[in-house]
Chains A and B, each alone.
Chain A
Amino acid sequence: DAGITQSPRHKVTETGTPVTLRCHQTENHRYMYWYRQDPGHGLRLIHYSYGVKDTDKGEVSDGYSVSRSKTEDFLLTLESATSSQTSVYFCAISSGAYNEQFFGPGTRLTVL
């Protein structure tokens, strides 16, 4: 998976609790992305980062925040998880805005 790890790989949590997902890369790529995958929707972009401390919103950013304090780590936080955020979350990386994106193994999140 192109030097990308995601943690945890599986998580079950309760509505209203905060959740943080981590994406870690060893490729020193500048761009990092968070997507969610749901049946019937394909993958949808939540947030992305184009450098340390530089982030921007994607298509479905409501209810999510991100942070990137180091090149290798991109964190996705659900401040107060809701059942609608039950999904599989994928991180992706890219060496440039004109280059290919490579995906991590995913995190399956269940919000009860």
Chain B
Amino acid sequence: GENVEQHPSTLSVQEGDSAVIKCTYSDSASNYFPWYKQELGKGPQLIIDIRSNVGEKKDQRIAVTLNKTAKHFSLHITETQPEDSAVYFCAASTTGGGNKLTFGTGTQLKVEL
């Protein structure tokens, strides 16, 4: 089955700096890659996703890049703000067959003032 590895497990940045979280996956058939943000005591919230037919997607301060050859994808957050502090999860799936997501183990992002 699919295996998703996520790094780093913790990340501390200064407000205004950029943050990058990286994930690798094992199944070359995976073609859907969402990113979730989870605040303490809440459910994961979808913040951005990318499908295998594109290499990059942006939404305001958030961007995701995908390298299918190397089987890795990354989340980029620019101009970080204190409210970006949370746990971020990457995931991968093959669409169809129920779109079963395999998650990374999460990155605790702390944005310091």
Contacts and interface: CB of A to CB of B under 8 A. Distances in A.
Contact of A102 (B46, B89, B104): B46
B44 A43 contact: yes
Chain A contact residues (Cβ within 8 angstroms of B): what range?
20 to 34
B43 A48 contact: no
Interface of A: 1, 4, 31, 33, 40-45, 48, 50, 56, 58-59, 90, 94, 96-106
A40 B102 CA distance: 14
A84 B95 CA distance: 31
A59 to B, nearest CB: 7
Contacts of B34: 100-101
Contacts of A43: 44, 89, 91, 101, 103
B67 interface: no
B42 A106 contact: yes
B10 interface: no
Interface string B3-46: 01010000000000000000000000000101010000011111
18 contacts: A31-B98, A42-B104, A42-B106, A43-B101, A43-B103, A50-B98, A59-B102, A90-B43, A90-B44, A96-B99, A97-B99, A98-B95, A98-B99, A100-B49, A101-B34, A101-B101, A105-B42, A106-B43
